[in-house]
Each structure stands twice: as C-alpha cells, then as structure tokens.
DNA sequence: CTGTTAGCGCCTTCAC
DNA sequence: GTGAAGGCGCTAACAG
C-alpha cells in the first residue's frame, strides 16, 4: 500500500498534522526549522503521495471538472475537449469526459453521477431534449458553462456561436452564385444550433426570394448515415436543389459520399457549404467551402469562464454569455448555379 | 448542502448503516420489512445521492479509470476514447482523459496524479521517451493496458497493430505500381509504432531493391507542420521520391497541403499512402489510399482487458498482448510511377 | 434484521 | 511551532 501521512509522520518523528501543514502551506508562511527537512526526507524515502480522494472528501473540493458532450469522436468536440483538458492541466484540474450520444437519459445519468462525485464545475453541450439536467446542476449550485447550445429561457453561462448570421451568410454566398434552390440539412431537430441556423437560412430564403419548400428541409441526425440518406433523398427528387447547406462534420461526409455515388460533380452539378471543423476540409474532393469554429477559442473561453465561477467567492456569479464568430472560408465546393 | 446518509436515517428513524445496506444490497438478499419503504421514502423526499468520494475513500475503489493519450484532438485517439468511455459507462466506470502532447514530463505528472487519485485502472498510449511512468504504474499494481505502443522489454498488457506488415504491404503496393523511390515520413522518433513501421518499410526496400537513402527518411513529429515541412524538403530535392508513406493523420494533411502548394498532382506526379483514420480519408482531393485501424475494436479490446484485470481477484494477471490487424484500402492517391 | 463501533486518509480547529 | 481531537460521508465487522 502507498504511504500515508501517518507513515511519513512516524518516520519523521512528528505528528501527522504537522506533516500535512508542511506539505501544503506556502513554503514558509509559518516557519519551521529542521522539522521541515526531516519531513521532506521522509516523504522522499517513502515516496509519499497525498491521497486525493481523502483530501477531496475533507475539503469538499475535488479539483475535477466534468465535460459532457454528444460525441468526443466528432472533431468539433474532441478539439474543444483538448483545449479544456490542457488548460485544466495547467490549473491542476482534471477532466472527466462523458458522451451523451444526444440522449437525454444518458445526460441525466451523467449529471447525477458527476454531481455525486463532487465535481467543482461542469462544461456541457446539452442534448437538449429537455432542460432537466441543466436545472439540476443549477440547483446544486455547481458552476456550469454551456457550450454551443443553450436554453433561451434559462439564464446560464454559455459560449455560443453566431449561428443565424453564419447560416445567412452561407446562403447569401450561394445566392451570389446564382442559386435559387438551396436545401438545408439539419442535424437533430430542436437543437439550439439547428434552430438558429435554420433561422438564418429562412431569413435568407425570404429575403432573396429563394424557392421555399418543406421538401428542402431534410435530415434529423448528426451521423454519416443521416447525411447520406437525407442527401440521397434530395437528389432523387425530380428537381433537386442546386446547393446544400450542411450542418455538421459527419453529415458533411455522408452528403459528399451520396453525391459522389450519384455520379454528380461538385460544384458543377451541385454546390456544398458546410458547418465543418475537420482539418481535412481544405483537402476534400474539392476543397470544402466551410463555416468553421475557432475551437481553441471556444474551449478556452468556456474553461476560463468556468474557472472564474469556481474560484469566485460569490455563491453564484451573474451568468455570462459569450458569442463567438465563426469563420467563413469560400473554397471550391461552391460554384455558379447550373442554368435551369 | 446535499443530504447525507445520516439525514436519510434520521428521517426514516433508523440507523445510517441500515440505510447504507438497504440502498446497496441486492434488492432482497436479506429481506427487510417496512423499514425499506420508510427509507426509500426518505431518500426520495431528501433527494439523496450517495457521495462518491466518501464511498471511494472507504472502499478503496473509485470506479474511475485513467486514459492517457498524446492528443485527444487527433481522430485516432478521440475515436478510441469514445469507445472506452462508452463501454465504461455501461459498467459504471468513469474516465479521466489526459493529453501528454508526447511529453514525458506531462505523462509523469499525470500518472502521479491519477495514482494519487486512486484510479482503478489505466489505459495509455505512452509518450515513450522513457518507461518511467509505465514502471511506476506497474509498481503500484494498478491494472494497466497500453494501446498502440509498447516497450519490448517490459511485459505489459497491450493492444497493438501489425505495424511491420502494414508498412511492408503499403510499400509492396507501391512497388507493384512501379515505384522505386519511396520516402518514409516518420512521426516522432523512438516511438514504437514508428520503429515497427520503419522496419516494414526497410524490409520492403531491401527485398524489392528500392532506392535506399537516408534522405528518404524524413520528419520528426506528428503535427501538420511536421508533415508539411518534411514533404516540402523532400519535394525540393533534385530527384524527389515518386511516392510517400505517411505515418499519421496530421502528417498526412500537412503532406497533402505541401504537395498541392508545389502544384503537383496526386497520383500523377506523386503517390501517397497514409496511416490515417479520418472519416474524411475517402473524400480527399483524391480518395486517399490508407492503412487504417479498427478503432472500435482497439478501444473495446483495451477496455475489456483492463476490466478483466480490475475485476480479477489475482493481484496481477499475466500480461496479455493483443495484435490487431490494420485495414488497407487502395483508393486513388496511389498510381503508376512516373517514367524516370 | 438492525444498531454500535470503528476507521478509510486527510485537514482544521483548538490547545499547549 | 507542534500535538491532540474531531469529523468529512460512507461501509464493514461485530453485536444483539
């Protein structure tokens, strides 16, 4: 078994509490003479490491934060996670990663679990079927920062993107290229980002007098298959759209695969703009025109906001919402609309 | 503050230990009469959740496993992490994710930290500058499974790939296409996978009488820039290679960008085979010929092996090493060698 | 079947 | 400056 405070104390010939003090107190707040050396020697010899669990129990502070995301396998989330973990490391916080797979039930289970673990704070991308778990966290007065999605009727800390504007600009770009019929491939319905992006899409459709039809709004999931199926369905229409607005990494890959399977050319036959954050985007079949996120910025803003809340003496700070601008890169998957 | 066992006990008019038992013991092993109901009611009313930290301290079991990888932002690792987390969830284990960035110092710090946290097991991709941290984990008798890399002189559990064979086959494929001058872009040196892949490369070079030159062995890092710079250097040679064997996701993106910047065509001017695990691989400039890993399989094999070790009564089980075969997909980045 | 007692390893009063 | 005592919330061993 690992050495304990008591062991160190015995070996150094002092009381455990003394060891505890020496090991933790700032180097010399209350100066100790040679005891100090004896203790450090003992620590060295016994290879003593304080027991984190015991300390957490006693201090009601775990130096642990939770990170709940839909899918850490998705580059968007994994790169944000990377940043958060890295900044946490610098501040001695450790992060527990949880995937909800967009399931509310999993999210609830995780939230309960993390709460009972005594995490110091939580960063999460809510699955958003309900606000149950968010409220639970709030009730427990555990610092919380939402990323990418939020509930408009709950005032929480959040780091989100300018979805409406991003989608609007993307469609406008297509309009400038002569497109009149633009499809919107949404991920799961009722998700904040989707609602907002759809809002931007709609606004542009109305403003520029594009073809408006429910048949152009397709998809209901974030996976490769979701993207593939929705696109296939679209392309099988008698008069398919000439451009696609894709709303996620995996959806994008699925859509591209469906287009290629159909033997269509991008952008000659169909243009594509995607919300995508893969490092591979610029090197696809055709370099992909994307709306991408400054992932490091999102991760670090979220982490710092959380840390502020954790370290604040106030029980709860007034919520802060940070808006991050996406980046729009016009590359080669968007081109002139085919003449009708 | 959250309710405690004592609170529940008081409210139910029983002793805390009784509550503890009722809440934990399998539904009816030793049957309790109406006390049970009183307790459950109290739990309900107080919204009681057991404190995980206290339980961990008492039971010396944290239901937590550590996962140390170089960079969770890299799809190879993030997708493995996803699997491990998911399987952990099913078994009530929670996972702490750590990025080493290939730095031994960070790895050591993390290992110490995780150990002092009392993790039940550890899955790691060692940074491999030294075996210090691996040995430390072993000393502490904490179940350990290595992924992707191992130390040949330390007998540990591990899930690795058939690197030698994979690299050999890739080069052979190039040879079949007429290539005589194949470059090897390695990631960080002294890393198990690199050594092995290089071994396969060398074997093929020797066996098929390819051009053998140190100038064809370039690169020393896993980043985009590493891939970009190494490739640029290669292409600036008076007689550049006609094919490249790339050994990582980011290296691949960097290499492709360098090739395109030079105005060269893939595969007409230069062929490319990559160890790559991005979902985007099939849809690159040219669909990428890849050696890819069954990531779910790697993650689940690793997790199950770890779980076996955690749950075993033996203090240490004999180490198991599992070899996983990569998949070779010939797509369109490899073509006939240019006539000299 | 349920209460009592003890203690996991640590930190924090409060004395001396 | 250092020791002693108590307890964070829980479980385990032993009584009854």
Q: How confident is the model at residue B23 (pLDDT cuts 50, 70, 90)?
A: confident
Closest CA to A137 of A155, A156, A111: A111
pLDDT score at B300: 85
- Supply the pLDDT for residue A240: 94
Spacing of C-alpha A149 from chain mean position: 9
Of B53, B106, B256, the CB nearest to A117: B53
Quickly count: other Cβ atoms within 10 Å of residue A44's Cβ. 10
pLDDT at A281: 86
User: Scanning every residue of chain A, which has its alpha carbon at the shortest distance from the alpha carbon of B278?
Assistant: A280
Sites in chain A below the pLDDT cut of 50: none
| Structural class in CATH, domain B58-161+295-325 | alpha beta
Chain A residues inside the 8 Å CB shell of B115: 2, 49
Longest dimension (CA), chain B: 91
* Tens digits of residue pLDDT in B172-229: 999 999 999 999 999 998 899 999 999 999 999 999 999 999 999 999 999 999 999 9
What is the distance in angstroms between the Cα of B208 and the nearest Cα belonging to chain A?
A: 32
Give the tens place of pLDDT for each residue, B227-242.
999 999 999 999 999 9
Nucleotides of C under 7 A from a protein CB: 1-13
Closest CB from A82, A116, A284 relative to B73:
A82
Question: For domain B5-49, which architecture applies?
Answer: Orthogonal Bundle (1.10)
3-class SS letters over A168-229: HHHHHHHHHCCCCCEEEECCCCCCHHHHHHHHHHHHHHHHCCCCCCHHHEECCCCCHHHHHH
Express as a percent the part of chain B with pLDDT over 90: 64
Touching B: A residues 39-78, CB under 8 Å: 49-54, 56-57, 62, 64, 71-73, 75, 78
- Say if strands B157-161 and B289-292 run parallel, antiparallel, or are unpaired: unpaired
Please tell me the predicted confidence (pLDDT) of residue A241.
Answer: 95
Quick one: which of A63, A65, A58 has its CA closest to A81? A65
- pLDDT at residue B25 tops 90: no
- What is the pLDDT averaged over residues B300-317? 85
How far is it, in rounded angstroms, from Cα A106 to Cα A172?
38
- Contact flag A116-B250 (C-beta cutoff 8 Å): no
Which residues from B are below 8 Å from A5, CB to CB? none
The average confidence (pLDDT) of chain B is: 90
Distance from C-alpha of A220 to C-alpha of A200, rounded to nearest angstrom: 18
- Strand spans (E) along B126-180: 144-147, 157-161
Rg of chain B over all Cα atoms, to the nearest angstrom: 26
Q: Hunting for tokens 């699955």 — which residue is that?
A: A127
For B118, which of A51, A78, A117 is closest by C-beta distance?
A51
Query: Does the CB of B285 have a partner CB in chain A at under 8 Å?
Result: yes
Distance, CA of A199 to chain centre: 21
B26 touches A at CB < 8 Å: no
Within a 10 A sphere around the Cβ of A227, how many other Cβ atoms? Answer: 30
CA B43, B46, B47, B53 torsion-angle sign: negative
HSE of A196, CA atoms in CB hemisphere, 13 A: 17
Query: For residues B95 and B64, is the Cβ–Cβ distance under 8 A?
Result: yes
Query: b/e map of B156-183 (b: 16 or more CB within 10 Å)?
Result: bbbbbbbbbbbbbbbbebbbebebbbbb
Structural contact between residues B229 and B255, judged by C-beta atoms closer than 8 angstroms: no
- Is A285 exposed, middle or buried, given 0-12, 13-18 or 19+ CB atoms closer than 10 A? buried
Does the pLDDT of residue B313 top 80, yes or no?
no
| Predicted pLDDT of residue A27 | 58
| Residue range B157-162: mean pLDDT, rounded | 93
Domain-wise residue ranges, chain B: 5-49, 58-161+295-325, 163-293
CATH code at B163-293: 3.40.50.2300
State residue A191's pLDDT score: 93
Rounded CA separation B220/A187 (Å): 39
The verdict on B279 touching A (C-beta cutoff 8 Å) is yes
Is it true that A58-161+295-325 and A163-293 share their CATH fold?
Answer: yes
What gap in Å lies between CA B74 and CA A284, rounded to an integer? Answer: 18
Q: Which residue is nearest to nucleotide D7 (CA to C1')?
A: A58
0.85 exceeded by pTM: yes
B180 and chain A in contact, CB less than 8 A: no
Q: What is the pLDDT of residue A339?
A: 60
Q: Give the single-character DSSP code of B319.
A: P
Q: Which residues in range 32-61 of chain A are in contact with strand D, contact meaning CB within 7 A of any of its atoms? A: 32-33, 35-36, 54, 57-58, 60
Distance in angstroms (rounded) separating the CA atoms of residues A19 and A17: 5
Cβ-proximal residues to B98 (8 Å cutoff; 6+ apart), any chain: A85, A89, A94, B66, B67, B68, B69, B106, B110, B114
pLDDT of residue A322: 86
Under the banding of pLDDT at 50, 70 and 90, the label for residue B38 is confident
Instruction: Give the confidence band of B33 by pLDDT, cuts at 50, 70, 90.
Output: low
Among residues A239, A237, A235, the alpha carbon closest in space to that of A262 is found at A235
In chain A, which residue's Cα lies nearest the Cα of B100? A86
In Å, what is the CA distance from B24 to each residue of A115, B19, B325? 19, 8, 43
- Taking only residues 245 to 274 of chain A, the set having a beta carbon closer than 8 angstroms to any beta carbon of chain B reads 249-250, 253, 256-257, 260
User: For B106-130, how does the pLDDT look when each residue is reduced to its tens digit (9 = 90+)?
Assistant: 999 999 999 999 999 999 999 988 8
């Amino acid at each position: 078994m690992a050495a304990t405070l008591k062991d160190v104390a015995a070996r150094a010939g002092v009381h455990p509490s003394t060891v505890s003090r020496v090991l933790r107190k700032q180097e010399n707040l209350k100066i100790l003479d040679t005891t100090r050396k004896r203790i450090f020697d003992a620590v060295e010899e016994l290879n003593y490491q304080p027991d984190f669990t015991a300390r957490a129990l006693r201090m009601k502070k775990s130096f642990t934060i939770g990170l709940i995301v839909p899918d850490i396998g998705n580059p968007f989330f994994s790169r944000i996670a990377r940043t958060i973990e890295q900044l946490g490391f610098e501040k001695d916080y450790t992060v527990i990663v949880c995937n909800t797979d967009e399931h509310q039930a999993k999210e609830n289970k995780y939230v309960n679990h993390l709460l009972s673990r005594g995490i110091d704070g939580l960063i999460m991308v809510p699955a958003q079927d309900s606000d149950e778990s968010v409220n639970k966290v709030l009730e427990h007065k555990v610092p919380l920062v939402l990323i990418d999605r939020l509930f408009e009727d709950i005032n929480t800390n959040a780091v989100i993107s300018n979805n409406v504007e991003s989608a609007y600009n993307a469609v406008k770009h297509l309009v400038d290229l002569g497109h009149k019929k633009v499809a919107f491939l949404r991920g799961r319905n009722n998700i904040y980002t989707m609602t907002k992006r759809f809002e931007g899409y709609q606004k542009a459709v109305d403003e520029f007098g594009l073809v408006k039809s429910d048949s152009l709004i397709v998809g209901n999931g974030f996976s490769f298959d979701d993207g593939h199926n929705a696109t296939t369905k679209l392309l099988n229409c008698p008069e398919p759209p000439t451009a696609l607005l894709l709303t996620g990494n995996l959806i994008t890959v699925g859509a591209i695969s469906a287009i290629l399977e159909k033997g269509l050319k991008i952008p000659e036959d169909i243009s594509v703009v995607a919300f995508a954050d893969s490092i591979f985007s610029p090197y696809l079949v055709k370099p992909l025109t994307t709306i991408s996120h400054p992932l490091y910025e999102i991760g670090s803003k979220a982490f710092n906001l959380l840390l502020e809340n954790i370290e604040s003496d106030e029980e709860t700070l007034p919520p802060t919402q940070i808006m991050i601008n996406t980046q729009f890169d016009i590359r080669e998957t968007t081109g002139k609309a085919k003449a009708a």
